[in-house]
Amino acid sequence: MNCNIEITPGLYYVGANDYRTQKFEALWTLPHGVSYNSYLMVDEKVALIDTIEAKYTETFLTNIRNILGSRGIDYLIINHMEPDHSASIAAVRRAYPDVQIVGNPKTIDMINGFYGICHNMLVVKEGDTLHLGEKDLTFYPIPMVHWPETMATYCPQEKILFSGDAFGCFGALVGGVIDEDICCDIYWDEMYRYYASIVGKYGVPVQNALKKLAPLPIDIICTTHGPVWKKYTKKVIDIYDRLSRHESEKGVVIVYGSMYGNTARMAEEIAQAIGSQGIDKVVLYDISTVDKSVVLRDIFRYNSLIIGSATYNTGLFPDIEALLSALRNREVKSKVYGCFGSFSWAGRAVKELTAFGNDMHWTMPGAPVEMRQGFSDAIIGQCRELAKSIAAELKKC
């Protein structure tokens, strides 16, 4: 990538693409790669905003030198301390020994803890402004989006928000860095998947951040993952607003764990019956074969969830049990919910799935369906009745 890309006069992209990492945080697959974004603002003073993942440090420093030549960096601003953004701090300090590191108190403490750096620091609080010359940078803590030290930095002259991980998404940058210069088709699904996987637990802090930043006129968002948002700024803010309020589209996610195919057959019966009721957005996932982040993405996207599980060792199918844990952790709200399952000699799965729905305070129309051993016309009828109940509830939404 040509990393001498000028976003606005004096503001340059100096990040890097990663096509080699297979799983982000060792958890979430990266079929389209991921970008680590950093920005260089050149004025009377020079400010570098965030760094990048350690294995791309040399590329990162080369990008900076290609713009600055022999000129130094006055300020290194750290919006987020997660290592995919902070891991090059020590390298920047070695390359530019006089650089002053800028962050809020929690950030400064973490820099010392992670990298043993504690000198030449500038501690900032909400509303503090750094004057670079013709341009200023003002700081707004947005804690728990999605770490406690997270901060946003705003340039009022250009109406640019440097947002950290907020408004980010998976996907490397192909052909450019600004949304209006590249095809953005892949990034919408990747934004939902990124939010559900990484940020989903923190809906209330995201809402708090959106309210805090709402008075600022924002034309451009420079996030740390994904495109620089210019054409679609309002769209990405709206997506994060809706997701953090657990507002979702009408549709059904059916996800199941099946050992020998009986629970899978129940899932297919339910899916077919829901479709016959006029619900056109129905997705069906076998939890043992599908990417878990895709399941989470669609659970955040659609307003109904039906979970099925075979009883396994007198409990839930293990991958279904892990899914329930992920949903609890993310405090997913406002679902129309149903459940089903099968067993041979120790019926347990449906009881646990039912208790889970009650614990989550979800709407549960229709009776759970439990099958003992083999299929029968009665079980097919119960699956269809559950589907009708779910569809009827969705039609009220």
pLDDT digits (tens, 9 = 90+) for 8-25: 999 999 999 999 999 999
| 97/227 same-domain check | yes
Residue 315 lies in a domain: yes
pLDDT digits (tens, 9 = 90+) for 213-225: 999 999 999 999 9
**CA distances, 284 to each of 191, 265, 304, 309, 382 (Å):** 21, 12, 12, 14, 18
Give me the chain's average pLDDT, please: 95
User: Could you give the CA distance from residue 154 to residue 215 in angstroms, rounded to a whole number?
Assistant: 12
User: Could you give the CA distance from residue 56 to residue 53 in angstroms, rounded to a whole number?
Assistant: 6
Does residue 283 register a pLDDT over 90? yes
Question: The CATH number of the domain where 236 resides is what?
Answer: 3.60.15.10
Number of C-beta neighbours around residue 276 at 10 A: 12
| 75/156 same-domain check | yes
Residue 322 lies in a domain: yes
Contacting residues for 152 by C-beta, under 8 A, at least 6 apart = 79, 139, 140, 141, 142, 161, 162, 163, 164, 166, 209, 213
Question: The CATH number of the domain where 351 resides is what?
Answer: 3.40.50.360
Write out the two tokens for 162: 């440097």
If one compares 375 and 79, the residue with the highest pLDDT of the two is: 79
Check if the beta carbon of residue 155 is closer than 8 Å to that of residue 136.
yes
pLDDT > 70: what percent of the chain?
A: 99
**pTM of full prediction above 0.85:** yes
| 267/216 same-domain check | no
Residue 129 lies in a domain: yes
| 274/234 same-domain check | no
| 266/204 same-domain check | no
| 202/291 same-domain check | no
pLDDT > 90: what percent of the chain?
A: 91
| 145/259 same-domain check | no
User: Could you give the CA distance from residue 175 to residue 231 in angstroms, rounded to a whole number?
Assistant: 16
Number of C-beta neighbours around residue 126 at 10 A: 12
Cis? peptide before 80, omega within 30° of 0: no
Outline where the chain has alpha helix (H). 57-68, 83-86, 89-95, 105-115, 185-194, 203-213, 233-244, 262-276, 292-301, 318-329, 349-359, 377-396
Residue 100 lies in a domain: yes
Q: Is 235 helix (H, G, I), strand (E, B) or coil?
A: helix
| 168/50 same-domain check | yes
- In this prediction, residues 189-194 reach a mean pLDDT of 97
Residue 225 lies in a domain: yes
- Looking at residue 176, its pLDDT comes to 94
- Looking at residue 345, its pLDDT comes to 77
Q: Domain end: 180, 212, 244, which one?
A: 244
User: Could you give the CA distance from residue 258 to residue 261 in angstroms, rounded to a whole number?
Assistant: 6
| 290/236 same-domain check | no
Residue 1 lies in a domain: no
Residue 43 lies in a domain: yes
Does residue 2 register a pLDDT over 50? no
Write out the two tokens for 1: 């990538």
| 261/237 same-domain check | no
The model's confidence at residue 3, banded by pLDDT at 50, 70 and 90, is low
Does residue 150 register a pLDDT over 80? yes
- Looking at residue 1, its pLDDT comes to 52
User: Could you give the CA distance from residue 198 to residue 30 in angstroms, rounded to a whole number?
Assistant: 13
Which of the residue ranges 7-21, 189-203, 373-387 would you say has the lowest mean pLDDT?
Answer: 373-387
Q: Domain end: 228, 244, 260, which one?
A: 244
Residue 370 lies in a domain: yes
| 180/317 same-domain check | no
Contacting residues for 13 by C-beta, under 8 A, at least 6 apart = 3, 5, 7, 37, 38, 39, 177, 228
Nearest Cα neighbor of 63 from 131, 98, 17 is 17
Q: Domain end: 217, 244, 271, which one?
A: 244
pLDDT digits (tens, 9 = 90+) for 299-358: 999 999 999 999 989 889 999 999 999 999 999 999 999 999 987 777 789 999 999 999
Structural domain that includes position 99: 6-244
How many domains does one find in the chain?
A: 2
DSSP state of 236: H
Does residue 143 register a pLDDT over 50? yes
| 57/182 same-domain check | yes
pLDDT digits (tens, 9 = 90+) for 56-108: 999 999 999 999 999 999 999 999 999 999 999 999 999 999 999 999 999 99
